[in-house]
Chain A
Amino acid sequence: MIGRLLPVIIFLGLGILLAAGLKIADHKTELPSPLIGKQMPEFALPILGREETIVTNEDLVGEPFLLNAWASWCPTCRVEHPVITDLARSGKIRVVGLNYKDEKADAQAWLARFGDPYDLTITDISGRTAIDFGVYAAPESFLIDSNGTIVFKQIGMMTPEVIETEILPRLEQWSKSP
């Protein structure tokens, strides 16, 4: 009896395994970040347009913010720009830009042309700080809480759905229990 059922059981098992694989394959280019739940990495970077001012990770601790890695050479950043702008204008969260491996003039021209949603933009020309954040494809966004802990990372374009399901609920929760 078991001998006759065995092929069916193996077939079902393989089927479940492959279905799970397909499901994972849908997101296979997105890597889960090992930095979730950890303190944001240390850095000291100049502000775009005010290069004499250096911002460190410590300076940004205190209130939650969204760190948005972008570059003028990145077409997807252009696409997500209105979404980031809407979020910043809503006043629900501070939005900080991380200008990633860009040229100062190009970055400033980009902001002048499409609008500057950022409270401030820090510039990472070498990309070294971005490596510490585990950035591998701009745009990427990090939601960081008031203690400086990374609680959520969006790889690729920020969308209204992600803001609705991942960011706003966390902000509401934080405002209830500070």
Chain B
Amino acid sequence: MKRIVFNNPTAQKIYDDYFKRVSRCIHVLSADDQRELMMELNSHIYEATHMATPQTEVDILVDTIEKLGPPEETLQPVVAHKKTQQAIRSFNPGHVIQALYLNFSNGVGYVILSCIYLLITAMGILVVLKLISPSHTGLFMYNGHFLAFGFTTVLRAGNSELLGSWFIPTVFAIMVILYFLNTFLFRLLKKG
């Protein structure tokens, strides 16, 4: 890729720094994909700035880079998509793991939300199980060590259930905490 040469040294530094950031964001891609993305951004910056005078170069360049947005954010979907395509083409386990990581991080928040909702549902089931089978549901200890929290079919000698009638209120308290945690996470994701 042919670098753009600016008359103003500050503009040159801003340009070089921007492409260092771009380079860091796309280093996981194949050499061809990296070159394609860099050339496209370079072309955009050249078209926006080539009419600028040395006095206006910095302002126009900063404005152009600002409008392009932070490469860490704007290039993320493209990198995830291109990495997936590369993984599909090559079947290289390294590429597959990187593609999974990049795509997973997009939806990781929603995965956590789903897990917490699943946990809340499981807690609700525990309340019902405590009513149906109180001796098999609870916080179980074995010789003074934590064994299980929930439902068990096997009760061995030495097992003791700690919470007793406090099990249901404890489960309700956990459900309320998880519910508020999920609502908070959901709001964070929506803001993002």
Q: Do A and B come from the same complex? A: no
- Chain A residues close to B by CB (< 8 Å): none
